[in-house]
Amino acid sequence: MPSISLHLVRPALRHRRLWYRYRKEFLAAGERQIPGLGADKTYAAFLRKLRRYSSEATVPAGWVPAQTWFLMDEREDKILGAVNVRRRLNDSLLHRGGQIGYAVAPSERRKGCAAEQLRLVLEKCREWGILRVLVTCDKDNIGSARTIRKNGGVLEDERQEGEKIFQRYWITQESPDT
């Protein structure tokens, strides 16, 4: 676990500069898919999309409502990661995507950030009454699999989609009332 205090914050206008830096770091590392950020090229478009996807009334057909947070340290001078929680599963997410997608900035990997980010967002799920959570990862993403298992993930199965094999883990949590 990191020695600094980490917490989740909802993306806001004040994070604009930090978001561009975070996005640039992924692109410089050759990573085009950024969980929680998608392919948005402007922060304004990113915030609009978050609002649209946060409500059952405005989410596009075939999608489910989701919430996104940034992982920040106590100084809040850098976005360390981003995490997205889908409030429910549809058939597609049940098969492949799961309920939680997360990413950690390339410069912050192997420091415990992913495990802490997942732990923090699982608390949000528990508060919402989501006590059984599906998280998936590519089989060759050993770090992500380790992060999921560290947070209680139990491997249900492996599936293949084209050339890719992915793993499906379930994390079962206790009710916040217990």
- The token pair at 146 is 């380790």
Task: Detail the DSSP E strand segments found in 53-105.
Answer: 66-73, 79-86, 100-104
Residue 132 has pLDDT above 50, yes or no: yes
* Cβ contact 5:73 at 8 Å: yes
Cβ neighbours around 76 below 10 Å, total: 13
Among 47, 121, 48, CA closest to 81: 121
Say what the pTM is: 0.90
| CA angle (95, 99, 104) in 5-degree steps | 115
Do strands 100-104 and 79-86 pair parallel, antiparallel, or not at all (unpaired)? Answer: antiparallel
* Cβ contact 148:139 at 8 Å: no
Q: What is the pLDDT of residues 27-75, one digit of tens each?
A: 898 886 666 666 678 899 999 999 999 999 999 998 999 999 999 988 8
- The token pair at 128 is 């919402």
* Cβ contact 51:6 at 8 Å: no
Q: What is the pLDDT of residues 70-121, one digit of tens each?
A: 999 888 789 999 999 999 999 999 988 899 999 999 999 999 999 999 999 9
Where do the H-state alpha helices sit in 1-104? Answer: 16-28, 43-53, 91-92
